[in-house]
Amino acid sequence: MTSSKLEVAFGRSQLGITLPSAADAHVIRKRPLPKIADPKAAIRAVLDRPTGAAPLKTLAADKDSACILICDITRPVPNHLFLRPMIEDLMAAGIPASGITVLIATGLHRPNLGAELEELVGDPWVTKTVRVVNHDARNDAEHVDFGFTSRRRTPVKLDRAFVEAGLRIATGLVEPHFMAGWSGGRKVVAPGVAHHTTIRTFHSARFMEDPLAVQCNLVGNPLHEEQLEIVRMLGDVYALNTVIDEERNLAFVSFGEIIESHLAAVAFVEASTRIPIGRRFGTIVTSAAGYPLDKTYYQTVKGMVTPLDILAPGGTLIIASECSEGFGSPEFREAQKRLVELGPDRFLATLTAKSLADIDEWQTEMQLKPMRRGRIQLYTTGLGAEELSITGVEAIRSVEAAVGASIERSGDRSVAVIPEGPYVVPVYGGSAAD
Q: Specify whether 17 is located in the same domain as 82.
A: no
Q: Specify whether 138 is located in the same domain as 210.
A: yes
- Is 324 domain-assigned? yes
Instruction: Render each residue's pLDDT in the chain as its tens digit; 434 residues.
Output: 344 789 999 999 999 999 988 899 999 999 999 999 999 999 999 999 999 999 999 999 999 999 999 999 999 999 999 999 999 999 999 999 999 999 999 999 999 999 999 999 999 999 999 999 999 999 999 999 999 999 999 999 999 999 999 999 999 999 999 999 999 999 999 999 999 999 999 999 999 999 999 999 999 999 999 999 999 999 999 999 999 998 899 999 999 999 999 999 999 999 899 999 999 999 999 999 999 999 999 999 999 999 999 999 999 999 999 999 999 999 999 999 999 999 999 999 999 888 899 999 999 999 999 999 999 999 999 999 999 999 999 999 999 999 999 999 999 999 999 999 999 999 998 554 44
Q: Whole domain around residue 127: which residue ranges?
A: 39-272
Q: Specify whether 284 is located in the same domain as 420.
A: yes
State which of 272, 289, 315 marks the end of a domain.
272
For residue 72, give the nearest of 98, 102, 40, 30 by alpha carbon. Answer: 102
Q: Domain count for the chain, please give it.
A: 2
State which of 238, 272, 306 marks the end of a domain.
272
Q: Specify whether 342 is located in the same domain as 391.
A: yes
Q: Specify whether 211 is located in the same domain as 340.
A: no
- Is 368 domain-assigned? yes
Query: Residue type at 378?
Result: L
Of how many residues is the chain composed? 434
Q: Specify whether 333 is located in the same domain as 423.
A: yes
- Is 434 domain-assigned? no
CATH of the domain at 64: 3.40.50.11440
How far apart CA 284 and CA 266 sit, in angstroms, is 26
Q: Specify whether 57 is located in the same domain as 203.
A: yes
- Is 11 domain-assigned? yes
State which of 217, 237, 272 marks the end of a domain.
272
Q: Specify whether 99 is located in the same domain as 120.
A: yes
Phi, psi of 133 (to 5 degrees): -135, 160
Strands 274-277, 425-428: pairing is: parallel
Q: Specify whether 415 is located in the same domain as 298.
A: yes
Q: Specify whether 21 is located in the same domain as 84.
A: no
CATH of the domain at 17: 3.90.226.30
Q: Specify whether 345 is located in the same domain as 320.
A: yes
- Is 433 domain-assigned? no
Q: Rounded to an integer, what is the distance from CA 20 to the centroid of its chain?
A: 32
- Is 21 domain-assigned? yes
Please give the model's pTM, rounded to 2 decimal places: 0.91
For residue 109, give the nearest of 272, 296, 268 by alpha carbon. Answer: 296
Cα–Cα separations (whole angstroms), residue 146 to 136, 187, 193, 233, 356: 18, 17, 14, 8, 18
Q: Specify whether 211 is located in the same domain as 98.
A: yes
Question: Is omega for the bond preceding 155 within 30 degrees of 0, making it cis?
Answer: no
- Is 298 domain-assigned? yes
- Is 331 domain-assigned? yes
